[in-house]
Structure 1
Amino acid sequence: MTTASLDPRALRDAFGSFMTGVTVVTANDASGNPIGFTANSFASVSIDPPLLLVCIAKTSRNFATVTAAKGFGVNVLSDKQMAVSNTFAKPVEDRFASVEWRIGPHGAPILAGVSAWFDCSMNEIVDAGDHAILIGRVEAFENGAMAGLGFARGSYITPGLSGKAVSAAAEGVPLIAAVVERDGAVLLIPETDGRWRLPQMALKGGEALAALQDHLAATTGLGIEVGFLYSVYDNKTTGHQHIVYRAAADPGDTQDGRFIPLAELPLDRMDNSATADLLKRFAAESALGNFGVYVGDEKQGKVHPYARKA
């Protein structure tokens, strides 16, 4: 495939599969007023000297201001700051009006409540296609106690939710399963009594995602990409802890089970009511394009939304 034949939208989606943190990059304009924007193209570069980088699009309304500034700040957002991320991603006039902030030791605006912040002098600006790479020398920093906010495939991810899955796994031998979707249909496995279930396995050790990926590949014979955590719950009726992920399947015939359209799911013939409820929620969320992760038991719990980027 040549560069000319690359689909920009598909390339952006592929880049978006890499899970990153979320930052707000800040600086001061020529009049000393604060400016800032949300960015996830951030990376450490060097410890000695202390360097980091962020990228900014040349089409950004902040491009001229940031590249002319003597330095900039990088605020690594905590998992409680989705709203802050959305505020600094929107084209509003005063993004700082709704957040608490202060001037850092080297002069960059520093936001309150962040997971970490870095106040940098401008070390180098590197031309990089339709972006510029800002390499900053860290003049001051602080590492907070808050967990960072994650981002992948257009959705925010809070690490605390995945931590609940680890806690559940520690309490016994959990069943790990997946809602495997393809073209609006979900993979279900038939049982001998005429009921259906999700593809699942008992997790007896090792890394959960790797074990699930191997199990799904062996079960279906298809390429499978395991995605986000979708549900963590105790089923007091069966005595199992359940950890369920979302997954996507490549085209082809499956070796076991059948892909059943969401509108035709046999909800009255699932292996248990908890699975039926999970699939009802999945069908409803699919229609809206807005997913969350459920934490609780087979009867009650809470859905924590993966907020979409504004």
Structure 2
Amino acid sequence: MTTASFDPRALRDAFGSFMTGVTVVTANDASGRPIGFTANSFASVSIDPPLLLVCLAKTSRNFATMTTAKGFGVNVLSEKQMTVSNTFAKPVEDRFAAVEWKNGPHGAPILAGVSAWFDCSTNEIVDAGDHAILIGRVEAFENGAMAGLGFARGSYITPGLASKAVSAAAEGVPLIAAVVERDGAVLLISEADGRWRLPQMELKGGEPLAALQDYLTDATGLAVEVGFLYSVYDNKATGHQHIVYRAVAEPGDTKAGRFVPIADLPLDAMDNSATADLLRRFAAESALGNFGVYVGDEKQGKVHPYARKA
């Protein structure tokens, strides 16, 4: 797209492909009342001096308070705090009534149970289009032991879910594969008998995602970005454990296989029924834009949905 043809919704969706953490930004208004809102536009800026930033829409009802406060807090939510994120994303009159919190050393409201928190003084406010960039100087912080809550393409991602799923295929030599998508089509590899399969490899050690990334790049000759875990199952018929990720390929000719439109997937000609079932689920979830992680065997299991943002 060129600048002249930008669709705001499409641009927002493209920005949303970048997986971020989830924070609740807090401050006190002129009367000392705590205010807060969910934000994922947070980044570290500098270690010396210790600076961070958050972005705030000028249309936010918190804009005046945040840009006049002496400081603000950034609470990095843990993977168990999806409810907290949703609470602070809704127009609730008293969001703090539903959470445990206290004032930090510099005065900003700090939430309990977070992955980390930063209590900041306002260092600088930079005008940036329809947003303002709030640069804070870290006056105090604490790093907790909880894994952080992730967010991408409108869904929450919890690291614990992926870890538990992969552990289900920890024994033996699993096959690691990917549903590689591009422009509404999926990459399939043809076999000698005329059937089709997903691009896959034996995992003989190391970190699954890194190994798969290298394999896909070498096999296709394309830039491929491996994303979320999609399926973990034990195929008793073949004796293999399977770990399947979602992935996205960049434009170009692939050295292996071909991209088949989702509507035309040869489900009756896949290498086995488990792959066909996986692709049926992928087609259905793609239509809804709501994905999950399957854990089980080739016949039955459970789909753990990535929680959608309320």
TM-score by length of 1: 0.86
Residue aligning to 1:129: 129
Report how far residue 207 of structure 1 moved.
Answer: 4.9
Residue aligning to 1:198: 198
- Give identity over the alignment, percent: 89
Residue aligning to 2:297: 297
1: CA distance, partners of 2:45 / 2:264: 51
Give the stretch that moved more between structures: 139-148 or 296-305: 296-305
Report how far residue 136 of structure 1 moved.
Answer: 2.0
Gapped regions of structure 2 (runs ≥ 5) = none
Residue aligning to 1:235: 235
Gapped regions of structure 1 (runs ≥ 5) = none
Give the stretch that moved more between structures: 286-295 or 100-109: 100-109
1:163 partnered with 2:146: no
Change (3 A) 1:214 1:138: closer
C-alpha contact (below 8 Å) 2:166/2:232 kept by paired residues: no
C-alpha contact (below 8 Å) 2:179/2:186 kept by paired residues: yes
What SS class does the counterpart of residue 176 from structure 1 fall into? strand
Report how far residue 308 of structure 1 moved.
Answer: 2.5
Residue aligning to 2:78: 78
C-alpha contact (below 8 Å) 1:164/1:232 kept by paired residues: no
What SS class does the counterpart of residue 277 from structure 1 fall into? helix
Change (3 A) 1:203 1:58: same
Report how far residue 86 of structure 1 moved.
Answer: 2.1
Matches within 5 A, 1:31-50: 31-50=31-50
Residue aligning to 1:89: 89
Residue aligning to 2:153: 153
2: CA distance, partners of 1:15 / 1:45: 20
What SS class does the counterpart of residue 107 from structure 1 fall into? coil
Change (3 A) 1:46 1:174: same
Letter of the 2:265 partner, please give it. Answer: L
Residue aligning to 1:179: 179
Residue aligning to 1:119: 119
Report how far residue 64 of structure 1 moved.
Answer: 0.6
Residue aligning to 1:68: 68
TM-score by length of 2: 0.86
Give the stretch that moved more between structures: 194-203 or 297-306: 297-306
| 1:55-89 CA distance string (max 9 Å, x none) | 21222211111111121111110111122212222
Indicate the RMSD between aligned Cα atoms, in angstroms.
2.8
Residue aligning to 1:143: 143
| 1:218-268 CA distance string (max 9 Å, x none) | 444544333221112233333322121112334565544344443443334
Change (3 A) 1:243 1:67: same
1: CA distance, partners of 2:79 / 2:138: 23
What SS class does the counterpart of residue 124 from structure 2 fall into? strand
What SS class does the counterpart of residue 179 from structure 1 fall into? strand
Change (3 A) 1:15 1:185: closer
C-alpha contact (below 8 Å) 1:168/1:174 kept by paired residues: no
2: CA distance, partners of 1:251 / 1:52: 36
C-alpha contact (below 8 Å) 2:166/2:243 kept by paired residues: no
2: CA distance, partners of 1:137 / 1:255: 50
Give the stretch that moved more between structures: 199-208 or 108-117: 199-208
Give the stretch that moved more between structures: 277-286 or 19-28: 277-286
| 1:136-159 CA distance string (max 9 Å, x none) | 233332222211001223322111
Letter of the 2:82 partner, please give it. Answer: M
Give the stretch that moved more between structures: 267-276 or 281-290: 267-276
Q: How many matched pairs?
A: 310
Residue aligning to 2:246: 246
1: CA distance, partners of 2:196 / 2:143: 49
Residue aligning to 1:279: 279
Letter of the 2:86 partner, please give it. Answer: N
| 1:20-48 CA distance string (max 9 Å, x none) | 21100011112222211111122223344
Change (3 A) 1:14 1:287: closer
Report how far residue 11 of structure 1 moved.
Answer: 4.5
Change (3 A) 1:4 1:262: closer
What SS class does the counterpart of residue 105 from structure 2 fall into? coil
